[in-house]
Amino acid sequence: MMKTHFDAVIIGAGPAGLTAAIELSRCSWKVLLIEKSEFPRTKVCGGFVGPENIELLQEMGVYDDLLLQGAEKVDRVCLSASNGAQVRIPIASNSSSLHGLALSRKLFDWTLWNKCEEEGVELKKESVAVPTESLEGFDIEVKNWKNNHVEQVTARYLIYANGASKQKGSAASGFFGISALFKNVTNMDKNVFLHFVQNGHLGINQFENGLTNICYVADKKMHQSVGGNLEKLFLKFKEENPVIREQLSGAIQETPWKGMFLPKKSKHRFSEKNIFYLGDQVGLVNPVVGGGISLALSGGQLLASLMGNYEASQMPFEIVAERYESEWKKRFFKRVCWSKLIGNLSHQKIAANNILWLLNRNQHWLEKIFNFYHKPVSLKKFNETKVEAIL
């Protein structure tokens, strides 16, 4: 059986894997992207893309497409605590042109998927990969679980971008993320909302087609207090925060609740022999800071820019791997670590009430926190990384 050869095989078609595939293909690498799920698919996600990645989306050629398909511009963040305290800040206090985007992962990932196809990436959905090491990289069996078609391919490098490693056992530490789409939610004009309660938070974000995404995150204790009933859990959020009750007083649910388990932490693993890791495989940012998609996009571009400096047959793996880990930690490690502290404090009722009271009187503090997580990433800096990687 003839085996098709690829320079890189990427497993996982989330924002990190899709971005890496596009960028590597533009560097003349032959790329195969494998996704196990049906595609496009609905994902539990807050659906916020920060201002730090708008320039990247423009450079990738998908920004205008996203807006045409209904992605909403966001220019203000609104927070509330269970005592009714509220604070609002602009997305970018130092620039009226900067904004975030609000959109479903279904739209976002599908748009990037189509861009991959346009750039010459070979795409396989509803498929699983079983790699084995070979002298020149990997032999990979690719099986479509829907029609049982099996194909054999080879690759010099593997990139895992298929989400955080699963934790085993009932003691696994983490949160439950749950989302559904609603209509008739008030005050949504270019705003994104975060409402805090004891042991959780609820985000509200305007999506395409006039629908609003409500995505809440609850810890295991809160989830267990209602016996795992997602509707009762939602009602508990409304009971504990008056701002949520008011904003959703006339809201009508359009889709059923969809849930997933979110691990609190993952090992920071970057590479091993001819393998790279991307996205949540490398590090998890706490969802309360809204930086998950942006971290995935930036990380995907960073890795691809370093690998793409070379022809695949001449890439010095150890040098690129070392530089990837160094640059990732320099750019993102502090953000990931601080997000855990912010997440823990925001899920403590007394702390959240007092912090929002203080932030309402010192809004520049909140602006500094937001800018720390969503400061625009200059493409020039990534290009400089390319040059330095060659030297």
Least Cα distance to 295 among 308, 307, 281, 285 occurs for 285
Q: How far apart are CA 140 and CA 120, in angstroms?
A: 20
- Kind plus residue range of the DSSP H or E element containing 335: helix 334-346
What is the Cα–Cα distance from 16 to 277, expressed in whole angstroms? 10
Number of folded domains in the chain?
1
| 264-295 pLDDT per residue, tens | 766 789 999 999 999 998 988 888 888 899 99
Predicted local distance difference test score (pLDDT) of residue 93: 53
More confident residue, 84 or 386: 84
Angle at alpha carbon of residue 119, lines to 146 and 385, rounded to 5°: 115
pLDDT at 360 exceeding the cut of 60: yes
Over residues 373-390, the mean pLDDT reads: 51
Q: Return the higher-pLDDT residue of 344 and 367.
A: 344
H or E stretch at 382: helix 379-390
Residue 57 lies in a domain: yes
Whether residue 251 is contained in a domain is answered as no
288 domain-assigned: yes
Other CB atoms within 10 Å distance of the CB of residue 38: 10
Q: Is residue 221 part of a domain?
A: no
8 forms beta bridges with 31, 157
Which of the four pLDDT bands, split at 50, 70 and 90, describes residue 381?
very low
Whether residue 208 is contained in a domain is answered as no
Is there a domain that residue 140 lies in? yes
The residue-averaged pLDDT of 180-199 equals: 96
Integer Cα distance of 354 and 192 in angstroms:
21
pLDDT at 167 over 80: no
Averaged pLDDT, 303-320 = 97
Are the CB atoms for 86 and 78 separated by under 8 Å?
Answer: yes
Query: φ, ψ for residue 189 (rounded to 5)?
Result: -65, 100
pLDDT in tens, 61-83: 999 999 999 999 999 999 999 99
In a domain, 185, yes or no: no
Q: Domain span at residue 65?
A: 4-166+264-390
| Confidence bin at 391 (pLDDT 50/70/90) | very low
Question: Please, which pLDDT band fits residue 372 given cuts at 50, 70 and 90?
Answer: confident
Determine the pLDDT at residue 62: 98
Backbone angles phi, psi at 260, to 5 degrees: -155, 160
For residue 134, give the CATH number of its domain: 3.50.50.60
Q: What is the pairing mode between strands 200-206 and 191-197? A: antiparallel
Average pLDDT, the chain: 90
Instruction: Assess whether the previous peptide bond of 40 is cis (omega < 30° from 0).
Output: yes
pLDDT in tens, 51-64: 989 999 999 999 99
Confidence of residue 375 (pLDDT cuts 50, 70, 90): low
Section 111-128 average pLDDT: 98
Q: Which amino acid is at 59?
A: E
Q: Please check the confidence at residue 96 and state whether its pLDDT lies above 80.
A: no
Looking at residue 387, its pLDDT comes to 41
What's the rounded Cα separation, in Å, for the pair 296 and 279? 5
More confident residue, 371 or 274: 274
* Percent of the chain residues past pLDDT 90, beyond the cut: 75
Higher pLDDT, 213 or 263: 213
Burial class of residue 218 in the structure, from the number of CB atoms within 10 Å of its CB (0-12 exposed, 13-18 middle, 19+ buried): buried
Q: Determine, yes or no, domain membership for 186.
A: no
Residue 320 in this model has a pLDDT that exceeds 90: yes
